[in-house]
Amino acid sequence: MNEIFLLKIGEIILKGGNRKSFEGRLRSNVARRMRPFGEFKVSVLQSTVYVEPENELCDLEGAWDACHTVFGAVSLCRCRPCEKDLDSIYAAVVNYLGDDLSMARSFKVESKRSDKRFPYNSIQISQQIGGRLAEQYPEVPVDVHNPDYTVYVEVRDFAAYVHGPAEPGAGGLPTGSGGRGAVLLSGGIDSPVAGYMLAKRGVELECIHFFSYPYTSLRAKDKVLELARLMTRYCGRMTVNIVGFTEIQEAIRDNCPEEYFTILMRRFMMRIAERIAKDHGCGCLITGENLGQVASQTMEAMAVTHAVVDLPVFHPLIGMDKEEIVTIARKIGTMDTSILPYEDCCTVFTPKHPKTKPKKAAVEQVESRLDVEGLIERALANTELVKVRYHG
């Protein structure tokens, strides 16, 4: 039999009556991710997703890498199916895991019997297979307490499966099982990580980027699109709404005191983001804000900023240290692109002394000098939609 993948389901098993819908979403997500790598049969049984290549043309290495990025699977393993009898199980272990086993300092066999019709229980399977392996590899001692290598045997409904230690999966919940959210995607480190964090909770993402040409360059826009493309490795295909923001920033510069520039800019961003989010069926806004990181991310500033929207605003990074955020950015592959030296609109017309504790009434009074609705309508009309997907 050919090598297949087993993806073990995580917290989905706690979903009770809704479990089938979560499993169905996970199965379809895995199947979609497998398509670039050939023809695979994807099924769910006994809290496990089975990923089976249909022919020898399948790219197993590419598919295996992709499985690590599918939210909903807590661990995964490459395994060899075999007939459900001890001789076949033993032969599969020797043929499939023999090289790793021969190089180990010690080993043990750990078994699980889901098919209760099998005549040996889990302990007996481990004893039988472990005893034979000890004779086959006399230089590798058995250590049931702290083995260097563990051979796993799973006897399931349709076959037995042998594999080595499992690898961590992406965890979380299947993308799309938690509704839709709109992430405000800048060119920095934080917002891609914020999007990743909500996608891990099953949220399907729509991206919104504010672009201030010619104050920000086309390379800055390309950088954001590349960040979105990198995010799709975990988050799935997305649309990036690129909002023309230049007129709004110039209007704020020309009509408002400098110390209010940032807070007014962010209020416009939130209003526009909410309009786009609602148009695309999103139930929340997502930002990379981190409490106290910059002047616009104080409690008072965020309260004034978010007062202009009705949708809930989620801040998955709100209490994280910068190093924690950077660690995740490196893990998901966005860090190197985020630090490319191309400016974003938040660096345009930056005040020397921004308001860190703005009062809502004072901000509204300053904002009344602007044609808020007209500026928003023209920005929305000047929005470009770009679809992105992961290509390797």
Given a cut of 60, whether residue 76 has pLDDT beyond it is yes
Task: List, by residue range, all CATH 3.40.50.620 domains of the chain.
Answer: 180-388
Task: List, by residue range, all CATH 3.30.2130.30 domains of the chain.
Answer: 4-168
Question: Which tens digit of pLDDT belongs to each residue from 305-353?
Answer: 999 999 999 999 999 999 999 999 999 999 999 998 776 666 666 767 7
Report the range of poorest mean pLDDT among 132-146, 220-234, 346-360, 369-383. 346-360
Given a cut of 90, whether residue 217 has pLDDT beyond it is no
CA atoms of 64 and 150, how far apart (whole Å): 21
Question: Which tens digit of pLDDT belongs to each residue from 259-272?
Answer: 999 999 999 999 99
3-state per-residue secondary structure call for the chain: CCCEEEEEECHHHHCHHHHHHHHHHHHHHHHHHHHHHCCEEEEEECCEEEEEECCCCCCHHHHHHHHCCCCCEEEEEEEEEECCCHHHHHHHHHHHHHHHHHCCCCEEEEEEECCCCCCCCHHHHHHHHHHHHHHHCCCCCECCCCCCEEEEEEECCCCEEEECCCEECCCCECCCCCCEEEEECCCCCHHHHHHHHHHCECCEEEEEEEECCCCCCHHHHHHHHHHHHHHHHHHCCEEEEEEECHHHHHHHHHHCCHHHHHHHHHHHHHHHHHHHHHHCCCCCEECCCCCCCCHHHCHHHHHHHHCCCCCCEECCCCCCCHHHHHHHHHHHCCHHHHCCCCCCHHHCCCCCCCCCCCCHHHHHHHHCCCCHHHHHHHHHHCEEEEEECCCC
CA atoms of 180 and 206, how far apart (whole Å): 7
Topology at the third CATH level for domain 180-388: Rossmann fold (3.40.50)
Give mean pLDDT, residues 20-45.
Answer: 95
Alpha-carbon dihedral sign for residues 78, 83, 85, 88 = negative
Q: Which of 144, 142, 164 is nearest to 152 (CA)?
A: 164
Report the range of poorest mean pLDDT among 60-64, 247-251, 387-391. 387-391
Asked if the 4-168 domain carries CATH number 3.30.2130.30, the reply is yes
Given a cut of 90, whether residue 215 has pLDDT beyond it is no
pTM: 0.90
Contact 6, 77 (CB under 8 A): yes
Given a cut of 60, whether residue 181 has pLDDT beyond it is yes
